[in-house]
Chains A and B, each alone.
Chain A
Amino acid sequence: MGTILAWLIVLLNFILQGTLFQYFSIFGVVPNTTLVIIVCFALFSDKNKGAIYGFVIGIMHDMLYGQALGVYALIYMLTGYFIGLINRKVFKDNLIISFFITAIATFFYILVNITLIYVLRHDIALSDLPILSIIIQVLYNSIISIFVYLYVFKLYKKRILKF
């Protein structure tokens, strides 16, 4: 039951992220709730499940929006795997932990995206990088992750949500 709920959340997020969440953009930056959900789920599951969640969400993103198949599957799977790897070593009660881990995950996400743009075709110069947008992306995701983490933690403790 708990696992089904987890997958339902994933699916609902996938549907809403391309539609409703577009309206919550700040300076053109849409919150990456997918990344936040992978971080929060992976913090409570193990590395295998974290990787599976990441892979499935990522491949769905690639199929519907991506230009090359597998990029987002790669990013999200590695994110889920590594967070699942360290999750026994972090304090679950501390809210700051989700903030920091999401910030690091978002940096990783941005880095892979820039590499991808570079590899795929476009000659991107360092000065072209939208620094403001990057900062907003990191902060926005991290702040949202605190709230998502709170809820996931609560549901996980009550054993409503299982991974």
Chain B
Amino acid sequence: MAKDNKKNRSAIIVTSVVIALIIVVGITSNQRENLHFIEKWLGNVITPIQKSTTTGINFVRDAVNPVVNYSRIKRENDGLRSEVEDLREQIIKARLERDELEELRSLSYALNYVPKEENYRHIAANIVSKNPGNWFDTFVIDIGEENGVKLDSVVVSSNGLVGRVFEVGGNWSKVISIIDNNSSVSFQIMRNKNFKGIITGSVNYELSGYLFDPLAEVIVGDKLLTSGLGIYPSGILIGEVIEVSRTTDQLLKTITVEPSVNFKRLNKVLVYIPLN
């Protein structure tokens, strides 16, 4: 009898904890303004340890990588060399355009045109650790409240849009990347900025989305930029269209996009912090 009671007791405890957890999941499933101090504390303790681990790993990787991947690096080098040639030509063109722009700017100043202010300040951050769960794409960076990071600050890398800050701790923050299935970004097509739409992440490292205008012409290879609607400022590169499809049962044009950022090899990001 006593044994039976004991057996039941642990079952009851587990059941009540399960119910409590389900309620907690329900409450916290939306984005929260502030973290509980225990959460912040855990991150403040764990993140520095993980940071030093990551630094060590990156050091070893940078040392070993050139030896192991010699042929690939050589190939890459050749590719880069021809790209440099192309870019040099483009620089000359850009320089000419810049001179023209400067002239126009001075003209607009003369005409008392009010320039648009830059509302962001940016800080570089290191990625400390990534979500090991395989189903969600979040990661932790090494700056937080102490550095002025705010909720929904936009995170970019040198190649394009990475994601947004989801939760902020003391010296760390949690970033949700654009390929996570809980993230959606409004975009415009670089070639023709009138064509806009929305892309969302999915469970298999892909971005997919649709265009608002079913007649919009979009082709494979089109580059996508953020449109400026929502929290992301406009003009950040998102990726390239790799597939355009139109199913019969829906009137929208759906596209599959390859992000311009390589999320697997990412370890440094830039955080745009809104000034007010």
- A contact residues vs B (CB 8 Å cutoff): 14-23, 25, 28-30, 32-34, 47-48, 51, 55, 60-61, 63-74, 77-78, 81, 110, 113-114, 116-117, 120-122, 124, 128-130, 133, 137
Partner of B203, one of A18, A64, A67, A124: A124
Tell whether, in the assembled complex, residue B43 and residue A63 are in contact, meaning their CB atoms are under 8 Å apart.
Answer: yes
CA distance A51 to B134 in the complex (A): 23
Partner of B46, one of A15, A30, A73, A77: A15
Tell whether, in the assembled complex, residue B134 and residue A64 are in contact, meaning their CB atoms are under 8 Å apart.
Answer: no
CB nearest to B23 among chain A residues: A70
Tell whether, in the assembled complex, residue B46 and residue A14 are in contact, meaning their CB atoms are under 8 Å apart.
Answer: yes
The total of Cβ contacts below 8 Å across the A-B interface reads 133
CB distance from A136 to the nearest CB of B (A): 9
User: What A residues does B134 contact at CB under 8 A?
Assistant: 29-30, 32, 133, 137
CB of B194 within 8 A of chain A?
no
CB of B128 within 8 A of chain A?
yes
Q: Which 10 A-B pairs have the closest CB atoms?
A: A18-B129, A70-B24, A68-B29, A69-B28, A130-B204, A65-B131, A70-B21, A113-B135, A17-B132, A63-B39
Main secondary structure on A side of the interface with B? helix
Q: A14-B46, A18-B132, A63-B39 are in contact. List 5 more A-B contacts (CB 8 A).
A: A19-B50, A20-B57, A64-B174, A71-B25, A137-B134
CA distance A110 to B129 in the complex (A): 22
Tell whether, in the assembled complex, residue A64 and residue B10 are in contact, meaning their CB atoms are under 8 Å apart.
Answer: no
CB of B14 within 8 A of chain A?
yes
Number of chain B residues close to chain A: CB under 8 A: 44
CB of B79 within 8 A of chain A?
no
Tell whether, in the assembled complex, residue B132 and residue A30 are in contact, meaning their CB atoms are under 8 Å apart.
Answer: yes
CB distance from B55 to the nearest CB of A (A): 10
CB of B205 within 8 A of chain A?
yes
Tell whether, in the assembled complex, residue A122 and residue B181 are in contact, meaning their CB atoms are under 8 Å apart.
Answer: yes
Tell whether, in the assembled complex, residue B203 and residue A128 are in contact, meaning their CB atoms are under 8 Å apart.
Answer: yes
User: What B residues does A81 contact at CB under 8 A?
Assistant: 14
- B contact residues vs A (CB 8 Å cutoff): 10, 14, 17-18, 21-22, 24-25, 28-29, 38-39, 42-43, 46, 49-50, 53-54, 57, 61, 128-136, 138-140, 166, 174, 176, 181-182, 200, 202-205, 264
Tell whether, in the assembled complex, residue A72 and residue B25 are in contact, meaning their CB atoms are under 8 Å apart.
Answer: no
Partner of B28, one of A14, A19, A68: A68
CB nearest to A51 among chain B residues: B14
CA distance A17 to B139 in the complex (A): 12
22 residue pairs A–B, Cβ–Cβ below 8 Å? A18-B50, A18-B128, A19-B57, A22-B129, A32-B132, A33-B132, A63-B42, A64-B42, A64-B43, A64-B129, A67-B29, A67-B176, A68-B29, A69-B24, A69-B25, A69-B28, A69-B39, A70-B21, A77-B21, A121-B182, A133-B134, A133-B204
User: What B residues does A25 contact at CB under 8 A?
Assistant: 264
CA distance A35 to B64 in the complex (A): 30
User: What B residues does A47 contact at CB under 8 A?
Assistant: 10
User: What A residues does B200 contact at CB under 8 A?
Assistant: 122
CB nearest to A140 among chain B residues: B134
CA distance A69 to B42 in the complex (A): 14
Tell whether, in the assembled complex, residue B57 and residue A67 are in contact, meaning their CB atoms are under 8 Å apart.
Answer: no
CA distance A124 to B181 in the complex (A): 9
Tell whether, in the assembled complex, residue B181 and residue A117 are in contact, meaning their CB atoms are under 8 Å apart.
Answer: yes
User: What A residues does B203 contact at CB under 8 A?
Assistant: 114, 117, 124, 128-130, 133
